[in-house]
Homo-oligomer: A and B are copies of this chain.
Amino acid sequence: MTRRLAEVAKKVGVSEATVSRVLNGKPGVSEATRESVLTALDVLGYERPTQLRGDRARLVGLVLPELQNPIFPAFAEVVGGALAQQGFTSLLCTRTVGGVSEADYVDLLLQQQVSGVVFAGGFYAQADAPHEHYQLIQERKLPCVLVNAAVDHLGFPQVSSDDFVAADMAIGHLRALGHEKIGMVLGPRDHIPSRRKLDAFLAAPEADPGLVEHTMFSLEGGHAAATRLVKNGVTGIVCASDILALGAIRAVRRAGLAVPEDVSVIGYDDSAMMNCTDPPLTTVRQPIDAMGRAAVDLLVALIERASVPADELLFEPELVVRASTARLKT
């Protein structure tokens, strides 16, 4: 009922045969004719076959939860750059308020015939979030790598930074500075990286489970959580992201105290510009460069059908001591 060839052929004034040849990249058509057929195709709104524009685009989806926290754009740059070097193009997908869900993005990516997907900080990290769309990827055998702590074994290879060690370092640092009443500001309860940090916190016998706050990952969330902790008299706060830490610093000041003189605050991520903040933030750095590269290497291996262990690659974080932590006043 469509009669594409016929319609296009009439429009250009050539035979159906010629249009067919153009569409299939067959020889025997002059460049000029080829051009005009292609133009007519576009004008009439038909999809030209993928192959016609250079070689098939090697697309990879990169799914991120947000862009507010600078760690995610930074990660996107690392992954995008590494993919580009391997000849892949990345499609960046970000959840937006009231907008497109992760499942929608997965649909979209499948539709666009991507060669693979990298997820960072997605729903897979939250135990209570829907996970059906990951199974969809699995069924399709689409190469996929998860960054940072997935819920359970979905069977995808993972690249994570070691949250347990990270929290341990942060707490150790505060202890070494003489702090004893230490609080934690974490993400949602079902968020796996937060849980792992919590495990590290509770591993210490002197830890007080009452000084753990769960909140959402925003400056305001950090502010609210830290306000409660300060009220409970903590002198050190370990946060699950730099943004939370900035919120915590604001909360401490709002309470009439100073950072780091009265309360020490440690962030997590070491996102950009944390050395320009007031005070420069002591934080635990995720090695995003190495992680991004590793994720891309894994993904490319999967795409090329190499067998890759569905393990979790743990990356060692690094404590970056700046000026938001100090020895406890005696």
Give residues in A with beta carbon < 8 Å to B: 42, 47, 50, 53-54, 57, 59, 66-68, 70, 72-74, 76-77, 80-81, 83-85, 89, 91-94, 96-100, 104-105, 107-108, 110-113, 140-141, 246, 249-250, 272-273, 276-280
A103 to B277, CA, bound (A): 37
Partner of A50, one of B94, B99, B111, B272: B111
Q: Are A94 and B77 in contact (CB under 8 A)?
A: yes
Smallest CB separation, A182 vs chain B (Å): 23
Q: Are A276 and B246 in contact (CB under 8 A)?
A: yes
A140 to B46, CA, bound (A): 12
Report chain B residues within 8 Å CB of A59.
108
Report chain B residues within 8 Å CB of A76.
67, 94
Classify the interface of chain A: helix, strand, loop or mixed.
Answer: mixed
Partner of A91, one of B53, B92, B279: B92
Q: Are B89 and A92 in contact (CB under 8 A)?
A: no
CB-nearest residue of chain B to A73: B67
Q: Are B68 and A84 in contact (CB under 8 A)?
A: no
Partner of A278, one of B113, B140, B276: B276
A246 to B92, CA, bound (A): 28
Known: A70-B272, A246-B273, A276-B278. 6 other contacts (CB 8 A): A47-B113, A68-B74, A81-B96, A85-B99, A91-B93, A278-B279
Determine how many copies of this chain the complex contains. 2
Q: Are A94 and B92 in contact (CB under 8 A)?
A: yes
A113 to B52, CA, bound (A): 13
Given contacts A99-B81, A278-B277, A278-B280, contact A67 B57 (CB under 8 A): no
Report chain B residues within 8 Å CB of A273.
70, 246, 273, 277
Q: Are B107 and A100 in contact (CB under 8 A)?
A: no
A277 to B70, CA, bound (A): 14
CB-nearest residue of chain B to A39: B139
Report chain B residues within 8 Å CB of A66.
77
Report chain B residues within 8 Å CB of A81.
96-99
Report chain B residues within 8 Å CB of A111.
50, 53, 57
Given contacts A92-B92, A99-B85, contact A68 B278 (CB under 8 A): no
Q: Are B84 and A100 in contact (CB under 8 A)?
A: yes
Partner of A93, one of B67, B92, B110, B276: B92
Report chain B residues within 8 Å CB of A104.
89
A308 to B85, CA, bound (A): 39
Q: Are A85 and B98 in contact (CB under 8 A)?
A: yes
